[in-house]
């Protein structure tokens, strides 16, 4: 077996590998990055995808990205490892471990002080795997999923519009204020926001909304339509999800619930900035109403379990899923504080 960097011509074979590797615990889905396998990584300023090969055949793949974030009060480079897949017939051969080591080595060479990953609740094999590799559980966050089921009334407040280039400096300032003091927050600027919008597939200035009142931007909310970059097919539902579905359908809150074979359409929220949760709620409800027209079923993000942005979701059916943040230090002079953590939605 050899490991190399993935190249564009691997696209189809990587999609076929991904289709063989359903993921999830409460909701098991097959996720295939399409039409471009690399679209997910392109949201990052710097990323790599590695593949493990037996001869000419790809038997595993794994991605990583680099970010400049605040760790222990200082800006440091950190690595994020995500989207690891191993062909079912090649498992228990050390492929996943070698791909993780390859990414750690690369990130360390680039100067990363630590590497982190996110693992969904109940995924014990993945937790045990990274713990054996020296990762430690640092924090448990929440991924709130809002069920898009009806038009939501939005408070009459200000004007909602897409961001313009003239807004970017103000929006960047709002984002930095919103997440000030959070570990892993990546301080942004007008230039950085413009670059993010330009490089992210299926994302434009129309995807970043602002709430403006009397010339003041009170909140901003970005949304990334994952149905434009990946196909998510439901494979199975846990008992927890089946019970939720049974309740929602028998009480006629929803006409029907997810079932195996369904294609899921989701919107991920990023970036998120606000002065008051009530301001953010106006934008969340607006995005819900637009999502309803587009056939989107869920809107989600990730945050601390007690973060005040959750107040903006009042009135929605919200399904919370725990997300475990695992961290491995790559340099001895680095330590993590107990401050709240910021995780960008693109990490999901």
pLDDT in tens, 77-102: 999 999 999 999 988 889 999 999 99
Please give the Cα distance from 103 to 81 (Å, whole number). 7
Distance from chain centroid for Cα 145: 12
Q: How far apart are CA 120 and CA 141, in angstroms?
A: 10
Q: Tell me what the pLDDT averaged over the chain comes to.
A: 94
Domains of the chain: 2-140+324-347 (3.40.630.30), 145-322 (3.40.630.30)
The predicted structure's pLDDT at residue 4: 96
- Give the H or E element holding residue 126: helix 124-132
**With contact defined as beta carbons under 8 Å apart, do 316 and 309 qualify?**
no
Q: If you count them, how many residues does the chain have?
A: 348
- The proportion of the chain whose per-residue pLDDT surpasses 70, expressed as a percent, equals 100
Peptide bond preceding 301 in cis form (omega within 30 of 0): no
pLDDT attached to residue 284 = 97
Give the 3-state secondary structure of residue 312: helix
pTM here? 0.92
With CA atoms as reference, report the closest residue to 268 among 246, 240, 300.
Answer: 300
Give, for 256, the enclosing helix (H) or strand (E): none
Please enumerate in sequence order all residues whose Cβ is within 8 A of that of 295, keeping only pairs 6 or more positions apart, or say none.
Answer: 265
Report residue 241's pLDDT band, with 50, 70 and 90 as the boundaries.
Answer: confident
pLDDT tens-place string over residues 155-169: 778 999 999 999 999
**pLDDT the model gives residue 100:** 95
**What pLDDT, on a 0 to 100 scale, did the predictor assign at position 103?**
97
The C-alpha atoms of residue 102 and residue 53 are separated, in whole angstroms, by 13
**Mean pLDDT calculated for residue range 50-58:** 94
Q: Is the pLDDT assigned to residue 187 strictly greater than 80?
A: yes
């Amino acid at each position: 077996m050899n490991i190399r960097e993935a190249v564009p011509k691997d696209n189809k074979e990587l999609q076929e590998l991904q289709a063989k590797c359903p993921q999830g615990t409460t909701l098991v889905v097959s996720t295939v990055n399409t039409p471009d396998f690399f679209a997910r990584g392109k949201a990052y300023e710097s990323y790599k995808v590695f593949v493990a090969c037996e001869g000419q055949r790809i038997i595993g793949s794994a991605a990583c990205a680099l970010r400049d974030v605040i760790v222990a009060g200082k800006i440091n480079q950190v690595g994020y490892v995500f989207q690891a897949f191993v062909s079912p017939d090649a498992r228990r051969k050390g492929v996943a471990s070698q791909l993780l080591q390859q990414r750690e080595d690369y990130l360390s060479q680039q100067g990363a002080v630590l590497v982190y990953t996110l693992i969904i609740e109940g995924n014990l094999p993945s937790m045990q795997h990274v713990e054996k590799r020296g990762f430690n559980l640092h924090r448990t966050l929440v991924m709130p999923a809002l069920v898009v089921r009806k038009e939501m009334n939005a408070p009459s407040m200000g004007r909602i519009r897409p961001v313009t280039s003239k807004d970017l400096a103000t929006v960047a300032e709002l984002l930095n204020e919103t997440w000030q003091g959070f570990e892993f927050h990546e301080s942004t600027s007008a230039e950085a926001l413009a670059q993010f919008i330009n490089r992210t597939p299926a994302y434009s200035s129309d995807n970043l909304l602002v709430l403006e009142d009397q010339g003041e931007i009170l909140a901003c909310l970005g949304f990334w339509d994952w149905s434009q970059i990946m196909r998510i097919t439901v494979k199975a539902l846990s008992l927890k999800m089946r019970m939720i579905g049974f309740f929602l359908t028998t009480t006629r809150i929803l006409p029907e619930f997810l079932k195996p074979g369904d294609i899921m359409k989701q919107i991920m929220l990023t970036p998120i900035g606000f002065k008051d949760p009530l301001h953010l709620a106006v934008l969340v409800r607006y995005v819900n109403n637009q999502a309803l027209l587009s056939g989107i079923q869920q809107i989600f993000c990730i945050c601390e379990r007690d973060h005040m942005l959750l107040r903006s979701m009042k009135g929605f059916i919200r399904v919370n899923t725990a997300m475990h943040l695992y961290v491995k230090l790559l340099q001895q002079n680095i330590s993590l504080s107990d401050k709240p953590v910021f995780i960008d939605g693109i990490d999901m």
